[in-house]
Amino acid sequence: MYSFEPTEEQQSIIDTVRDFAKTEMRPKSMEADEKSDLPAGFLQKSWELGLAVAGIPEAYGGSGIERSAVTGALLAEELGYGDVAMGIATLAPALVAYPVVDYGTEEQKTKYLPLFTGSGFPKATAAVLEPTWDFDPTELTTIATKKDGGYVLSGKKCLVPLGSTAELFLIYARDGGPGYENVRAFFVPRSAAGLTVSEKEKNMGVKALDTVGLTLNDVKVPKEAVLGGDKGVNFERIMSYSRVALSSLAIGVSRAAMDHSITYAKERYAFGEPIGQRQAVAFMIADMALEIDAMRVMAWEAAWHLDKGETATKETFLMKMYSDKNALKVTDNAVQVMGGHGYIRENPVEGWLRHARGFTTFDGMALV
């Protein structure tokens, strides 16, 4: 069974990312949100951590560290504790690198993985989400049609992380009826005829994160652009890895909100005593702790199933539903603990609430 005690290597990663979150993320998060832009040099600093795609094999220039969804969950939680927008940006290279590691042909691994082993932050990202109110990853509206030995892609994508500067997109499209098994992934260069990249989207939360929309108007790609060739990818399993990443980011921002609430409840006096001594506040914070622990156990268990080689669709789906709901609940309660002060922009809890609200729509935006 899985252990609740991190290994020595996992604890080292936790400590490294926790320190990075403390020094490079949290102090700059509010300003980044106000400016709707990542801090200068942040992407390069996050890349130099060497953790986002540490699982690339040595044969392709990587570190060769064994990839683990549990370790990825621990990493993502600490990033979420620092800042959700910066956390998603830090994990963005994995959106392309890990599917190539898992499903790429030998030629694709040789061609694309070196993009993720250099000294500079890679300009590559993936596009899963679509601008529909009832988005379902098993019923993508972006369609791939076989033609002239290759494919023609048509459709729209949204919330593509770091899309403004990306030179390579991994675009998911459907080439058959509904179902994970009919989804393929295609390498599409920014210069492809028929591909239009929108201006940066204006979002309610994670405002510092650069996200764009894509319009594919009969974009022609050769058969070599299909990730995995004839075998394709296991999109169902990719989405399970994504849910673990997103749920762990949600745990991180929830933990940040709880810690801030505890500090405030101890220091804020009303009627001659700290407000934390009042049952209404104390019970609210206790409920935060309960939900965060439950979210974490579900995330670790789902990640453990993935590390065993299972697809873990049920486990990751239930985990994400629970974390989506309770990240919003925890951050909303943090605003409540602050009272009127929690509603003003100078207080980080209002930003955490806006970030948490987005997790129900962030499918496919992060991967571990």
- pLDDT tens digits, 5-17: 888 999 999 999 9
Helix (H, G, I), strand (E, B), or coil: what is residue 303? helix
CATH tag for 235-361 (out of 1.20.140.10, 2.40.128.630, 1.10.3720.10, 1.10.40.50)? 1.20.140.10
In whole angstroms, give the CA distance from residue 168 to residue 191. 9
Q: Which tokens go with 302?
A: 């789902």
Residue 318's pLDDT is what? 97
Asked if residue 345 has pLDDT above 90, the reply is no
In sequence order, which residues have a C-beta less than 8 Å from that of residue 242 and are 6 or more positions away? 128, 363, 364, 365, 366, 367
User: How far is it, in rounded angstroms, from Cα 351 to Cα 204?
Assistant: 9
What is the average pLDDT across 314-320? Answer: 97
pLDDT at 34: 94
* Cβ-contact 46, 82 below 8 angstroms: no
**Rounded-to-integer distance, Cα 49 and Cα 44, Å:** 9
The yes-or-no verdict on residue 1 having pLDDT over 60 is no
Is the CATH number of domain 8-116 2.60.260.20? no
Residue at 144: amino acid letter: A
Question: For 181-245, what is the HEC assignment?
Answer: HHEEEEEEECCCCCEEECCCCCCCCCCCCCEEEEEEEEEEECHHHECCHHHCCCHHHHHHHHHHH
pLDDT of 2 reads 59
In percent, how much of the chain has pLDDT > 90?
Answer: 85
Residue 113 contacts residue 105 (beta carbons within 8 Å): no
Q: What predicted TM-score, i.e. pTM, was given to this entire model? A: 0.95
Residues 250, 216: contact at Cβ < 8 Å? no
Tell me what pLDDT residue 348 has: 92
Report pLDDT for 278: 77
Of 6-10, 138-142, 144-148, which gets the smallest average pLDDT? 6-10
* Mean pLDDT of the residues in the chain: 94
pLDDT at 62: 87
pLDDT at 96 over 60: yes
More confident residue, 251 or 276: 251
pLDDT digits 0-9 by tens, 43-91: 999 999 988 899 999 999 888 888 999 999 999 999 999 999 999 999 9
Cα(20)–Cα(109) distance, rounded to whole angstroms?
30
Taking only the tens place, the pLDDT of each residue in 21-33 is 999 999 999 999 9
**Cα–Cα distances in angstroms (integers) from residue 74 to residues 12, 310, 353, in the given order:** 11, 19, 22
Coil vs helix vs strand at 127: strand
> What mean pLDDT is predicted for residues 324-340?
93
Has residue 274 got a pLDDT over 90? no
pLDDT given at position 342: 72
Q: Which of 129, 130, 105 is nearest to 187 (CA)?
A: 105
* Number of other residues whose CB lies within 10 A of the CB of residue 199: 8
pLDDT-derived band at 268, boundaries 50, 70, 90: confident
Rounded to whole angstroms, how far apart are CA atoms 344 and 355? 15
Is the per-residue pLDDT at 257 higher than 90?
yes
- Would you tell me which CATH number, out of the four given (2.170.270.10, 3.40.50.170, 2.40.110.10, 3.30.420.40), belongs to the domain 124-231? 2.40.110.10
SS3 assignment, position 178: coil
Q: Are 114 and 243 in contact (CB under 8 A)?
A: no
Q: What is the pLDDT of residue 22?
A: 95
Residue 203 has pLDDT above 70, yes or no: yes
Q: Give the per-residue pLDDT at 264.
A: 87
How confident is the model at residue 269, as a pLDDT?
66
Beta strand pairing call for 183-189 and 150-161: unpaired
Strands (E) across the chain are located at 124-127, 143-147, 150-161, 168-174, 183-189, 195-197, 211-221, 269-270, 273-274
Query: CA 20 to CA 17: how far, in whole Å?
Result: 5
- On whether the CB atoms of residues 170 and 187 are closer than 8 A, the answer is yes
pLDDT of 272 strictly over 60:
yes
Look up tokens 């098994």; give the residue. 181
Q: What are phi and psi of 236, to 5 degrees?
A: -60, -45
